[in-house]
Amino acid sequence: MSEMSTPQTDSALALIQRIQVVDAGHVGRWLRLGWQDYLHSGWIGPLYGAAFAAIGLFIVFGLAWFGWPYLITPMIGGFLLIAPLLALGFYGISQHLEQGDKPHWRQLYQAWRSNTFHIMTAGLVLMLVVMIWARLSIVLFALFFPYQSMSLDSFVTQSATLAGISFTLFMLGLGAAVAALVFVTTVVALPMMLDVKTDIFSAALVSALVVFKNPKPMGLWAATIAVITGLGLVPAFLGLTVALPVIGHASWHAYRDLVGHD
């Protein structure tokens, strides 16, 4: 097998016709297959997963160091919003394992080359969402705490007040809404763009229709991703070393079941 597969080109209509209806039991299957791919990836999966943990720690300590603690939660959320893009390498490894190839570290950084322009476009869109989210977080902090400094001590003190609790709950609700939008439009989009030479708009449309046709399995899959990622954040982000690679590999198998093979 070649090191990097060349994707075929499919129209949006052809991709829509390939959408499958699955049941909630498939979620467990995707996780099992994702775990198997993680084990078969050797040192590649844990090492790349450790990079996610390192980025999370850098965000926390970096923002605290610069005196922007109010941005820690929004920026961690923003980091997780672009996780589907960062997981391209895991999709590529799962694709090669599916074809009977041995995993190789080159598959981590070469995956985007299968559909360079459109994957880069998707990356820019996700980065734009993160930038809007970060800016919105600053504006909301200023609205909730108009006469407070943005220092770490002030932030910790205000967190226990009624305004602080209201701010936290509002940000969680708004973050959940943004995450849901990203999930609906990307749940199979990026694996599809790696596999099929299609654009971000067609991929997002197919992804939304996948969710529309499979509301219960997709709701369970979204909740599963949130729980596993949340657990991965708890032990100083070290759990992301396993959580995000497994979710990445499982997302490839979800795409295969939900959109089907040509």
For residue 51, being part of any structural domain is answered with: yes
87 occurs within a structural domain: yes
Q: What pLDDT score does 109 carry?
A: 64
- Which pLDDT does position 132 carry in this prediction? 86
- From residue 205, give the alpha-carbon distance in Å to each of 32, 39, 57, 91, 192: 28, 33, 34, 20, 12
The whole-angstrom separation of Cα 202 and Cα 171 is 30
Q: Which domain holds residue 70?
A: 12-259
Specify if 192 maps to a domain.
Answer: yes
Burial of 13 (0-12, 13-18, 19+ CB in 10 A): exposed
User: Does 146 reside within a domain?
Assistant: yes
How do the pLDDT tens digits run along the chain, 262 residues long? 444 444 555 667 888 899 999 999 999 999 999 999 999 988 888 888 888 888 878 877 777 777 776 677 777 777 777 888 888 888 988 988 888 877 766 666 666 677 778 888 888 898 888 888 878 877 887 787 776 665 556 666 766 677 778 877 888 888 888 889 999 999 999 999 988 888 999 999 999 999 999 999 999 999 999 899 888 887 778 888 899 899 999 999 999 999 976 5
SS3 251: helix
CA atoms of 241 and 50, how far apart (whole Å): 5
Is the model's pTM score more than 0.75? yes
Count of domains observed in the chain:
1
Query: What's the token pair of residue 122?
Result: 């998707």
Which residue blocks in the chain are alpha helix, DSSP H?
Answer: 12-17, 25-40, 44-65, 72-81, 83-86, 88-98, 106-110, 116-144, 152-159, 162-186, 189-195, 200-213, 215-233, 240-259
In a domain, 1, yes or no: no
Question: What SS3 state is found at 5?
Answer: coil
Fill in the amino acid letter for 28.
Answer: G
Buried b (16+ CB within 10 A) or exposed e, 110-141: ebbebbeebbeebbebbeebbeebeeebeebb
Could you count the other beta carbons within 10 Å of the beta carbon of residue 164?
17
Structural domain includes residue 92: yes
